């Protein structure tokens, strides 16, 4: 909601926790999608705690590669979901 209120999501796709999707849809210039996370341009939005972990692993993959992402997820004993998160 902070990003939306600051007009940083205008013209972009975004997600949030399911309980706040209706509120986010109140911003007409944002394409709201119900996904775990969305990475568009320089912004990444996530839909909650577990999806925030998915988002963080996505960032690890961007910065340090897929092998590191898999190693971190394995160390956490966290299953990596098939990614279909981009807008």
**Measured on CA atoms in the order 62, 66, 68, 72, is the torsion positive or negative?**
positive
Q: Would you state the pLDDT for residue 80? A: 84
pLDDT per residue, tens digit, the chain (87 aa), is: 999 999 999 999 999 999 999 999 999 999 999 999 999 999 999 999 999 999 999 999 999 999 999 999 999 999 986 654 454
- CA angle, 20 then 25 then 26, to 5°: 100
Domains of the chain, first to last:
2-76 (3.40.50.880)
Does the predicted TM-score (pTM) go above 0.95? no
Q: Would you state the pLDDT for residue 83? A: 55
Q: Would you state the pLDDT for residue 86? A: 54
């Amino acid at each position: 909601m902070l990003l939306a209120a600051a007009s940083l999501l205008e013209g972009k796709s975004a997600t949030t926790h399911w309980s706040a999707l209706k509120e986010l849809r109140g911003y007409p210039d944002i394409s709201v999608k119900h996904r775990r996370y969305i990475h568009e341009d320089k912004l990444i939005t996530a839909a909650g705690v577990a999806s925030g972990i998915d988002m963080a692993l996505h960032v690890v993959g961007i910065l340090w590669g897929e092998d590191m992402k898999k190693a971190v997820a394995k160390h956490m004993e966290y299953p990596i979901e098939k990614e279909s998160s981009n807008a």
